[in-house]
Amino acid sequence: MALIEEFDKSGNWLFRWRSFMPLVLYVLAGIVIFNGLDYIDHTDTTWIAICLAISLLGLVIRSITIGYTPRGTSGRNTKEGQVAEVLNTTGIYSVCRHPLYLGNYFMWLGIIMYVGNFWFTIVCSLLFWLYYERIMFAEEYFLRNKFGHKYLEWSKLTPAFWPKILRWKSGGTNFSFRNVLKREYSGFFATFLSFALLDILKNYLIYGSTDMDVIIQPFWLWSTLGALVVFLSLRTIKKTTKLLDVEGREYV
């Protein structure tokens, strides 16, 4: 098999199994913490604020992408394969070709940084790039074959990952907050849950206690419980009503 077909095949395979990537990161984080290689105090409020802000930035990037993306445009990858009726080149796609993956990176970067090891952050960033590079290749291979010259012209001007903000071009589509709520409640909850799990792991290994007053900081306890309430509420609304459905919009 030629490399171009091999990259395409592996990229689509990696996309289908992308949900398991966090499990690998949790295992690696556990190894770092267990061996005492976490050098930053995880109870420092400034450090907590920095790490959480970076992860929430990732959620904001994803929300902007999803909130402005109309039905049938490029940027949707499913278990069955690539889906696109038209090429999306406006809005956030006018400054970056893969904004959802950029958002994913920042979401995970904050969590990875919270582990407190510089080299762990570097290694995980490289792993993230190697993993998602194949996925991005598969998506672009499909778009190039489907849209041809139009895709090539867009890709020449638009960076794959790091955005050129000054190139923003409005697509004339209104922002849909309901579409964001419908799509992003899982990621919102998973972000706070990940921070809480790391906090529990650190406290257990440092203090050797399972006492609730010691094992988790109050901030992570209450913020994660709040995120859980949001998750359960939006999931129930989504499954039992059509309040979050928006005409002309879909998952991206």
> Does some domain include residue 199?
no
Q: Is residue 233 very low, low, confident or very high in pLDDT (cuts 50, 70, 90)?
A: very high
Structure tokens at 155: 């890709």
**pLDDT greater than 60 at residue 75:** no
CATH number at residue 74: 1.20.120.1630
Q: How confident is the model at residue 251 (pLDDT cuts 50, 70, 90)?
A: very low
Higher pLDDT residue, 4 or 29?
29
Whether residue 31 is contained in a domain is answered as yes
pLDDT in tens, 197-212: 999 988 888 777 666 6
Tell me, yes or no, whether 141 lies in a domain: yes
pLDDT at 187: 93
Domain that holds residue 122: 3-174
Report yes or no on 204 lying in a domain: no
Structural domain includes residue 142: yes
CB atoms within 10 A of CB 166: 6
- Res 14: pLDDT: 66
Distance between CA atoms of residues 65 and 59, nearest Å: 10
DSSP state string for 237-252: HHHH-STT--TTB---
61 compared with 83, residue with greater pLDDT: 61
238, exposed or middle or buried, with CB in 10 Å at 0-12, 13-18, 19+?
middle
Stretch (H or E) spanning 26 = helix 21-34
Asked whether the CA dihedral 34, 215, 56, 69 is positive or negative, the reply is positive
How many distinct structural domains can be found in the chain? 1
Which residues 6+ apart lie within 8 Å of 190 measured at CB?
A: 22
- Please report the DSSP string for 117-177 in residue order: -HHHHHHHHHHHHHHHHHHHHHHHHHHHHHHTHHHHHHHHHS-SSS--GGG-B--SPPP-H
Amino acid 36: pLDDT: 79
What's the pLDDT at 192? 97
Q: Does 206 map to a domain?
A: no
Q: How confident is the model at residue 252 (pLDDT cuts 50, 70, 90)?
A: very low
Question: Who wins on pLDDT, 78 or 85?
Answer: 85
What does residue 76 show for φ and ψ, rounded to 5 degrees? -115, 120
Q: Is 169 contained in some domain? A: yes
End-to-end CA distance of the chain: 30
